Structure formats: C-alpha cells, structure tokens
Amino acid sequence: MNFLILLVVIFGIVAIAQLAKVSDLSASLSGRREEDISKADSRLIGALFMVFFAVLMGATIFLYTSYGNMLPESASAHGVEVDWLMNFNWWIITFVFVVVNALLFFFSWKYAYDPARKATFFAHDNRLELIWTVIPSIVLAVIIIYGLKTWTAITGPASDDALRIEMYSKQFDWSARYPGADGEFGQGNFNLITSSNPLGVITREASAEVLNTLEEKIGKIETNLGLELGLLQAERATLVATIATDDHGHGHDDHAAHDDHGSHDDHGHGEDAWKSIAEHRIAEIDELIAHGGDGLLIWTEAKIETQRAKLHRLKRHRQRVLDVKGFELESGVDAWDAGKDDKIVKGEFHLPVGREVEFVFRSRDVIHSAYMPHFRSQMNSVPGVPTRFKMTPIITTDSMRTILGDPAFNYILLCNKVCGAAHFNMKMDIVVESEANYEAWLAAQETFVPAEEAAEEAAEEAAEMATEEPLAETAMQH
Amino acid sequence: MANAHHKESFISKYVFSQDHKMISKQFLITAIFMGMIAVMLSVFFRLQIGWPGESFGIIDAFMGKWGEGGVLDRNGYLSIVTIHGTIMVFFVLTGGLSGTFSNLLIPLQIGARDMASGFLNMLSYWFFLTSSVIMVFSLFIEGGAASGGWTIYPPLSALPQAMPGSGLGMTLWLIAMTLFVVSSLLGSLNYIVTIMNLRTKGMKMLRLPLTMWAFLVTAILGVLSFPVLVSAVVLMIMDRSMGTAFYLSDIFIAGEALDVTGGSPILFQHLFWFLGHPEVYIVLLPALGISSEIISTNARKPIFGYRAMVGSIIAIGFLSFIVWAHHMYITGMNPFLGSVFVFTTLLIAIPSAVKAFNYITTLWKGNLRFTPAMIFSIGLVSTFVTGGLTGIILADSALDVQVHDTYFVVAHFHIVMGLSAIFGMFAGVYHWFPKMFGRMMNTKLGYAHFWVTFVCGYGVFFPMHFVGLAGAPRRYYENSAFTYLDGVTDLNVVISIFAIIGSTGQLIFVFNFFRSIFRGQPAVQNPWKGTTLEWTTPVERIHGNWPGALPEVYRWPYDYSNPEHDVDFVPQNVPLKDGETEH
C-alpha cells in the first residue's frame, strides 16, 4: 500500500515535470510568452468558472437538503427562537452568497479576454457605491436588532422558581449537583477537594478531614526532614560552631545564630540556658546518628529541596483551609450545613420538562465548555469564575425518541473547549422527563452526607451545643 | 547608490542581505517551507478525523512515538492541530504574506531605493527565521509540542500537569512567539516609516496603489496589537515559571490544590483576542490589497471606487480593534458587553461588502486576462464573500451559542482567512515572480494549481459548515462517543479526501516555483503591462532599484483603458498630456 502511494507520488511528479517541459518546448517553438494568454485558454477558464459555479450551486442544494437538518428540532424553549433566527440569517446570507458568486463567475465568463475589445473605463459612481453601502447597512441593522432581542431574552435573569443545578467539570468528566431540600447549594471550595468530596463541598467534616490529612502529610515530611543525615550533620556543625564562638568571642559579635533560638536578652543567664539546650540537641543528634540505623534517611539536595517546597505548599494549603469561614445564607441556612443534603450525580442527570433550569458552572482545573446541542445551549466552565446559563426543556427524552424513531436516543452534554487528551470523551447524558418522574428520580439519589449520618450528626451537635463546645471551633483550632 | 554595481560577497548578498528584494525572497521561501510542514500536519489529522483509529503508513513513518502502529496518538493529535494553526496564522499568513510582499513592493511601488532601515529589515527576517526554527523543533521534544490549540487558553496551557504539551513544548511556543513578535514589530515599523517618508516625488497618499494602503494599515494594526500579545505571553511565562497567578485561580489539579487565587483565565482571552482579532485583518488586508492590484491590472480597468476601497481598508482596520470579544460570547462575559460587540462586529460587514461589490464592478465590462494571478484573485473574491457571510452568523451572539467552537467556526475562518489569504499570497507570487527572479512561472502549471486548490478548498471547507451545524465540536480526536454525529461521518471522509488531494496539489506550485527560479522563461520588464512603478525597474533587479534617478509620479495607479489615451495602460510616471485631468 505504502509502496503504491510512493509510486503514485513519483509518477505524479514526473508527469508534472514532463508537462512543464512540453509546455516550455511548445512555447519556445511558437515564440509564445508565458504572459500571453491565448483566446482558447481564456474561454476555457471562463467556461470552467461557470461550471464551477453550477457545481457549487448543486453542492449547496445537496448539502442543504441532505445535511442541513442533522440536529432535530430544538428541545428547549429559547432554542426555537434561536432556530428561527438562524434560518432568518441563513436565508439572507444564502441569497447574498448565490447572487454575488453568480455575478462574479458570470462576469468572469462574459468578459474573458478578447484582444479586439477595449475595457470600459469606469472608475467610480457615487450613486452605486451609496446603494451598496446603504442596503447592507439596513439589512445588518435588521439582523442586529433581531439578534440582540434574542440574546437579551436568552441571557436575562432566570425566574425565581427556576430549578438550579450546578454543573461541575474536571478533566475528564462532569457532575451535576442539585441543591437538596433546603434549596441551597453548599459552597464549594477547591481547597476541600478530596477523593470522597470531588466538588469540594464545604461541611465541617470535609474541613476537618482535609485538615487531618494535611497535618498527617506535614507531620510525615517534618519527621523525615528530621531524620535526614545531611541535615542532622549540618545542624550539629552549626551548633558546635556557635557554641565555640560564644566561648571565645564573648558572644558579642555574632548574634544571628542565637536569634534563631530566641531568648538572648538576658545575656548571662539566657546564654547558659541556650547553651545547655544546644548541647542537649547535639547529644540527641549524636545519639540519632549512632543508633538511628534504618530510620535515618540520606537524600539528595534536590530531594530535600522538593520536600521542603512541598512542605511549604502543604502549610499554605492548611492555612487556606483554616481561612474557610462559616456564615449564614440569606435563607437562614448555615453555610456549613447547606451542602449536606446536596445531591451529586455523574454519568447522567435528569431535568423536568417545561420548568426553567438555571445552570451554574464551575470548573476544577482548566476551562471546559458545557455544550448541549439539542438544547441550543452552551456556556464555558471557567476555574475561579462561576458562569450561568438558563434554559427550559420542552421535549422529553421519550418524545424525542418517538420523533426521531430512535429508541436509543439520549440528549447529551459534552465538553466543547479543548481540555486535554480525553477531551473528546467528556460527556454526560441528559434525561428530560415529567415533573413526577423527575421528583421520583431525585428522591432516589443519595445526599452528599447520607441522611442517617446527617441525623446522627445533628443529634450529636445538639448535645455538644448543650455542653457549649461547638464542633466547628474545635475543628478550627485543631 | 553610486556604487550599486560593486561586488558583494555571497554572504552579504544571499544570507545577511539588507536589500529588500532579497529579504522578501528569504521570507517567501521560509514561508513556503513552513507552509509545507503545516499542510502536511493537516493531512495527518485529517486522516485521523476521516478514518478514526485506522492505521496509516505515513503517520507511522513521520509521527514517531505519537503515531505508533500508524494511528495518531491523542496528545500527538492535539499538538499537530495546535502547531498547524500557529504556523499557518503567524508564520505563513502573517510573516510570510506581509514579510514577502511588504518588503518586495513597498520600495518598488512608492519609488524608493530601499526600506528606511535595511538593517532592521534584515533583523526582522532573522528573528522570523529563528522563531520558525524553534517552533518547528518544538515538534521533536520529549513531551511533544504545545497542544492547547493555537489560542493557548490558560489554565490548560499554563499548567504542565494539565497535558504533556503544556510542559517544555509550551515554553518553546512562548519563546518562539515572542521572537516572532519582535520580527513583526521591526518589519511593521519599517513599513510604516518607509511609506510615510520615502515616497518619490509626486507620490501623494491618494496616488498610492491599493497594495500600499493595505500594507500600511496592516503594519499599523501589527504595531498596535502585537505588543499586547507579548504582554499576554509575558504574564503567561510568569504564571508558568514564577508563581504568579494572573490567569489562575481556584485550581485543583493532579491531586493538589494549587496556591493560586485571584487570577482570571478570561483576562488572557481578552489580551489574546485584542491581538487575535486585528490579526485576522493583518492576514487578510495584504491579500485584499494584492488582489485589488492584480484584478485591476488584468481586467485592464481601473479598480472601481478607489477612494471607497481606501476608506474601507481604513474602516476595517479601525473596527478590527473593537470587535475582539466576539470570540468570547460564551465565556460568561457580561451579556450587555456581548451586545456591544455584536454591534461593532456586524459593522465590519459594511466595508467588507463595499469591497466585494467594488471587485465585481471592476470585472464588469473589463477585458479579463486570465493569468494565474488573476484567477487566484477571482477565487479570492469568491472565498472572501462565501467565508465572510458565515461570519454574520458567528457575530450574532444568540447564534454563536449554538455554533461556537464547532466545525462551523473552523469552516468560516478557513475559508475567509485560510483560503482568501493564501489565494492572495499565491496570486502575489505568480504576479510578482518576474520582479523577484527575473523569470516567469509556468502558466499552465499555474492553471492546474489553481483549479486543484480552488475545487479542493471549497471541497474541504464548504461541507464543513454542515458538520458544524450538526453540532460537531472542533478539536475532537474522534466522534465515536456521540451517536448524534453519525450522520456526518461520510462528510468527514469526503472532506479528508479533498484535503489530501488539495494538499498534494500544492506540490505543483512548489515544483513550478523552484523550477521557474532556474528554468523559467526570462521575463521582460513589464510582462503584465502594469502602471505601477515596480514595472519601470530593470529586469536585472539591481541594488537601489532604479539605475538612474528615481521616477517621478504624475497620476494615479489605475489608468487602464483610459479613453484619453490610445494605449490601454498609462504608467504612473508618464506626465499628464496637455488638457488631461488627473483622474
């Protein structure tokens, strides 16, 4: 196969070369110059332009009829308007496309070179130019007015009883979150993300869990750094050197090292105390080095560097988690509790037909885009910048299956902003169904903190409140 | 230029040349090589899109570890899509198009001995070449080239954890682009200064050929917008390497919550498109200027509405600065701001419409000489109209919601920017080849090249609109996960077949070009019977352009078939006859 392709390419090149040679030869024999276009060539090219135009029109009609309606009718209310607007614009541009191309190719054919004719000197005509400035302006004004009318309707505020759903994106999947019985989403915070809390929903437990994990990691790195042979030796050397300078130099010249260990105001007494601490530490290090055995670590400079950097990052992370503060939402729900009854689903999510839904989009890592082609809906999902889009589904999945005659059909939400290797696979099914079915489906979904657990917690909390020891504060001070 | 005939060494004549004509050839040949690479990459990913998962020997042979077993790897796919776009937009259609024709034509058409600064001009080329080399070499590194799309939206491009291409590949991309911008700025400043200051006696602004107007406005756009890209790139480099968070906020990736808050990825998009949209016209305007010149010359008619053409070039240039956010309707930007950009964007259609109608009126009752340059220019008008019209749909924010980032967009900008601009470039090469090399290109091969390119260009990008309308997202490795796209599978196959034929067809041009440099028919001084000053220079292409005094200009550049004269063209340096009024 490859060999065959290679042969074709080689023959192609040889053919082109031969063609060039023949045309050069004939040119030099007849004294023809490259810039002289023969009458036959002119007519041929004029005719080819007309043929091309005919084929282009044929292709346009074919494509419009066979591929113009690949998407079924809009399954959302605003989509009906969008489709109307699309058709409206589409017919305008198709008209211009046909007329302008027709004129272009027709003139190319009609006015092909004829040495007997002289072109008409026609340099400008203000009236004509005015016409084709004003007419497009009017048409565009109409397009702009209709477009902005639809745009304002699409992007206007959602109604108060709209269903709110948070769509959360990450490489490479989507989740949908429903606010639960209290009607409030738990706040999300990227610092609280763990494998069991992929959306970073804020609850006291989530905060405590993350803090615990962080403390563990910080402790482990600190312990390891305390067992690294090179670091121990360096520390010991510094201590020994400082003690030595203090003994001989009356402790006045170099305070820097002492300041690290604090308490240097009271010279005589403080110095002795510090010295004994230092000696104690030296003994400790000697003991470790002598008997530490397998516990001791020997790391490269690079490894120490990365571990220290990691330690720094973990401590910053800990601080950010500590900074997460509780507050009361407008509806009176405590922000720490709002997330407990949230329902998070993956793979597919359900929408009631005929009810407005306002999506709020959040992203964990890079920009994604939630594209729902059947609903004529799309909005980017940007890390750090929540976005919104509202729509009202008007055709249930079942009805659409009937319309399309495809029992396997499903509405879909897919990622439409390149986000990495598996971008082309990042999707979620959408099921549109009756309000009753939707309620039943939603009721069957697990809450973020399972109901029994939440109840237990509430009881515990009440008990703790009674003993005036709020759980939140213990967690914070931890 | 008293010593115009002194002996030059090989190095100073062909390598570190300061002569604008040599520099233009250097730009052109570099751009042709870059173009061949980018076209080849497009064939590779079209193979994957047309026949997903199938094995191809050519991918196995060229793509190394990203094409094992002849199937393109998913990351490799994204990186060649990215590099294809980057090379085409910046290296071929910006550097190649402006670099070649601004350099060649500005001094020749305004009657100057050379550019205002030959040295800066030379630097401009060498920065261009260096950045081209870095960009191409980034394809060969361990983690692969940059792969977040040519628009490199952060955080995807800012975080090496997000994809392999966002590591060293992205760093090289940023370095290459910075050097590219330096090149572009040096060139543009030079073009502006030269056109403003070095016009020969009598060359008033309204006697400039439309090519000059187009190149002037293009250079101004470049000077005003490219620095903004540099600032975007510098902030990106700081985010990547110095721990800042201009574009980053609230990110959890690779199991870690990053220590970044307060930045906005949308800021990058504003900065990028503040360059990115004028960039579209930086690409397109030179092509429109070239085709204006060629259509008038070969229709043997003055360009219709010269002043309207100048006005529309300026209007397009101005408007191009206040439309950038139409790329961002669905980023969550304030909808009212979106409305403003809908308005300004659709305004651009007015000067564009004026240009299209003026071209057509120029053809009307002309005497059309179908040189290869002329038919490419006619092709340009067709693609400019066809591609421009779908822009009306994309500019309409309510409709953009549905077609944003689908193949509809890809079809739109490839027809209007890809085909039109490249047609302008081809037209320019066929037309001014005799000025560059003193020889003619083969006309018949030019015809063959045009028809293959024209038919395949439409064949690739026209059906693509319908793939987009069916809701197919761009930059997808395959559509297998989405049954609703099954209906356009066969269209994708057709598109890929046209892409392969069309790409292979470009070899006709490459062959014709390089062969004609050495074997083409020797040119005469004014083969197309043009009126502009470049055709008054000798065929030998001497340093300093004119052997004697500089020509003096007495009339506008479009005196074709002027009824007051017997000949069908009157060059600009011919004085007015008694009683003749200048047009």
Distance from C-alpha of B88 to C-alpha of B45, rounded to nearest angstrom: 15
Q: Cβ of B501 under 8 Å from any chain A Cβ?
A: no
Q: What is the pLDDT of residue B1?
A: 42
Burial classification of residue A463, based on how many CB atoms lie within 10 Å of its CB (0-12 exposed, 13-18 middle, 19 or more buried): exposed
> Smallest Cβ distance to B398: which of A33, A117, A147?
A147
| Contact: B511, A16; criterion CB under 8 Å | yes
A:118-137 residues touching chain B, CB 8 A cutoff: 118-125, 128-129, 132-133, 136-137
C-beta separation of B554 from B576 below 8 A: yes
Q: Between B32 and B581, whose confidence is greater?
A: B32
In a domain, A461, yes or no: no
In a domain, A188, yes or no: no
Average pLDDT over residues B476-489: 93
Q: Cβ of A3 under 8 Å from any chain B Cβ?
A: no
C-beta separation of B198 from B112 below 8 A: yes
CATH number of the domain residue A424 falls in? 2.60.40.420
Q: CA-CA distances (angstroms) from residue A213 to A195, A207, A321, B250?
A: 12, 10, 12, 20
In a domain, B479, yes or no: yes
| Contact: A101, B481; criterion CB under 8 Å | no
**Which phi and psi angles does A198 have, rounded to 5°?**
-65, -20
B:377-406 residues touching chain A, CB 8 A cutoff: 378, 381-382, 385-386, 389-390, 392-393, 396-399, 401-402, 404-406
Tens digit of each residue's pLDDT (9 = 90 or more) over B184-236: 999 999 999 999 999 999 999 999 999 999 999 999 999 999 999 999 999 99
Average pLDDT over residues B79-107: 95
Same domain, A173 and A263: no
C-beta separation of A420 from B477 below 8 A: no
Q: Cβ of B364 under 8 Å from any chain A Cβ?
A: yes
Q: Between A292 and B511, whose confidence is greater?
A: B511
Q: What is the pLDDT of residue A229?
A: 87
Nearest C-alpha of chain A: how many angstroms from B189?
33
CB atoms within 10 A of CB A25: 10
Between A and B, how many residue pairs show a Cβ–Cβ distance under 8 A?
396
Q: DSSP characters for B177-203?
A: HHHHHHHHHHHHHHHHHHHHH-PPTT-
| Contact: B332, A361; criterion CB under 8 Å | yes
> Smallest Cβ distance to B375: which of A45, A317, A376?
A45
C-beta separation of B256 from B160 below 8 A: no
Average pLDDT of chain B is 94
CATH number of the domain residue B242 falls in? 1.20.210.10
Closest CA to B129 of B86, B96, B165: B96
- Give the chain A residue whose CA is nearest to the CA of B449: A16
Local structure of residue A299 (DSSP, 8 states): -
In a domain, B225, yes or no: yes
Same domain, A233 and A290: yes
Local structure of residue B262 (DSSP, 8 states): S
Average pLDDT over residues B443-468: 96
Residues of B in contact with A417 (CB under 8 A): 153, 405
> Smallest Cβ distance to B331: which of A37, A152, A380?
A380
Distance from C-alpha of A193 to C-alpha of A344, rounded to nearest angstrom: 14
What CA dihedral angle connects A180, A181, A184 and A190, to 10 degrees? -30
Which of A322, A350, A374 lies at the terminal end of a domain, its last residue? A322
In a domain, B78, yes or no: yes
> Smallest Cβ distance to B560: which of A17, A37, A119?
A119
In a domain, A173, yes or no: yes
Same domain, A316 and A221: yes
Q: Cβ of B455 under 8 Å from any chain A Cβ?
A: yes
So what's the ipTM on this one?
A: 0.94
Q: Cβ of B493 under 8 Å from any chain A Cβ?
A: no
In a domain, B480, yes or no: yes
| Contact: A123, B304; criterion CB under 8 Å | yes
Distance from C-alpha of B332 to C-alpha of B349, rounded to nearest angstrom: 26
Q: Cβ of A101 under 8 Å from any chain B Cβ?
A: yes
- Percent of all residues in chain B with a pLDDT value above 70, rounded to a whole number: 99
Distance from C-alpha of B510 to C-alpha of B452, rounded to nearest angstrom: 14
Mutate to test the interface with A, among B402, B404, B486 (most CBs of A within 10 A): B402
Q: Cβ of B514 under 8 Å from any chain A Cβ?
A: no
Q: Cβ of B460 under 8 Å from any chain A Cβ?
A: no
Pairing of the two strands A173-178 and A163-170: antiparallel
Mutate to test the interface with B, among A424, A428, A429 (most CBs of B within 10 A): A424
Same domain, A291 and A311: yes
Residues of A in contact with B75 (CB under 8 A): 421
Mutate to test the interface with B, among A13, A57, A110, A151 (most CBs of B within 10 A): A151
> Smallest Cβ distance to A82: which of B305, B399, B491?
B399
Average pLDDT over residues B305-329: 95
In a domain, A465, yes or no: no
The CA-based diameter of chain A, rounded to the nearest angstrom, is 117
Nearest C-alpha of chain A: how many angstroms from B194?
28
In a domain, A468, yes or no: no
Residues 6+ apart with CB under 8 A from B334: none
Dihedral sign of CA atoms B288, B292, B293, B297 in order = positive
**Which phi and psi angles does A163 have, rounded to 5°?**
-75, 130
Residues of B in contact with A143 (CB under 8 A): 346, 392, 396
Nearest C-alpha of chain B: how many angstroms from A363?
8
Q: Cβ of B231 under 8 Å from any chain A Cβ?
A: no
pLDDT, one tens digit for every residue, chain A (478 residues): 567 677 777 777 787 788 777 777 777 777 788 889 988 999 999 999 999 999 999 999 999 999 998 999 999 999 999 999 999 999 999 999 999 999 999 999 999 998 888 899 998 899 999 999 999 999 999 999 999 999 999 999 999 889 999 999 999 999 999 998 888 898 899 999 998 899 999 998 899 999 999 999 999 999 999 888 889 889 899 988 888 876 655 544 444 444 444 444 555 566 778 888 888 888 888 888 888 767 788 889 999 999 999 999 999 999 999 998 888 888 888 888 888 899 999 999 999 999 999 999 999 999 999 999 999 999 999 999 999 999 999 999 999 999 999 999 999 999 999 999 999 999 999 999 999 999 999 999 999 888 777 777 777 767 766 665 444 444 444 4
Tens digit of each residue's pLDDT (9 = 90 or more) over B128-161: 999 999 999 999 998 899 999 999 999 999 999 9
| Contact: B251, A388; criterion CB under 8 Å | no
Nearest C-alpha of chain A: how many angstroms from B344?
10
C-beta separation of A23 from B444 below 8 A: yes
> Smallest Cβ distance to A34: which of B159, B382, B440?
B440
Nearest C-alpha of chain A: how many angstroms from B270?
14
Dihedral sign of CA atoms A158, A159, A160, A161 in order = negative
Is residue A174 helix, strand or coil? strand
Pairing of the two strands A348-352 and A427-433: parallel
Pairing of the two strands A427-433 and A411-415: antiparallel
Q: What is the pLDDT of residue A267?
A: 54
**Number of structural domains in chain A:** 4
Tens digit of each residue's pLDDT (9 = 90 or more) over A26-45: 777 777 888 899 889 999 99
Residues of B in contact with A63 (CB under 8 A): 462-463, 465-466
Q: DSSP characters for A14-33?
A: HHHHHHHHHHHHHHHHHT--
**Number of structural domains in chain B:** 1
Reported pTM = 0.92
What is the domain extent for residue B28? 18-249+259-536
Same domain, A299 and A372: no
Distance from C-alpha of B157 to C-alpha of A381, rounded to nearest angstrom: 16
Rg, chain B, Cα only: 24
| Contact: B519, A23; criterion CB under 8 Å | no
Residues of B in contact with A114 (CB under 8 A): 367
> Smallest Cβ distance to A108: which of B353, B368, B504?
B368
Same domain, A359 and A278: no
Distance from C-alpha of B294 to C-alpha of B528, rounded to nearest angstrom: 9
| Contact: B471, A71; criterion CB under 8 Å | yes
Same domain, A217 and A318: yes
- Give the chain B residue whose CA is nearest to the CA of A78: B398
Least confident of A402-406, B8-12, B110-114, B220-224: B8-12
Nearest C-alpha of chain B: how many angstroms from A404?
11
Closest CA to B139 of B239, B40, B28, B32: B40
Distance from C-alpha of A476 to C-alpha of A336, rounded to nearest angstrom: 13
Same domain, A217 and A148: no
What is the domain extent for residue A237? 212-322
In a domain, B401, yes or no: yes
Mutate to test the interface with A, among B246, B469, B514, B564 (most CBs of A within 10 A): B469
Nearest C-alpha of chain B: how many angstroms from A467?
36
CB atoms within 10 A of CB A337: 22
In a domain, A4, yes or no: no
Tens digit of each residue's pLDDT (9 = 90 or more) over B250-285: 999 998 999 998 999 999 999 999 999 999 999 999
Q: What is the pLDDT of residue B200?
A: 95
B:178-197 residues touching chain A, CB 8 A cutoff: none
Q: Predicted confidence band at B6 (pLDDT cuts at 50, 70, 90)?
A: low
C-beta separation of A70 from B487 below 8 A: yes
| Contact: B511, A52; criterion CB under 8 Å | no
| Contact: A147, B447; criterion CB under 8 Å | no
Is residue B104 helix, strand or coil? helix
> In chain B, count of helices (H) and strands (E)?
18, 2
Q: Predicted confidence band at B294 (pLDDT cuts at 50, 70, 90)?
A: very high
Nearest C-alpha of chain A: how many angstroms from B188?
31
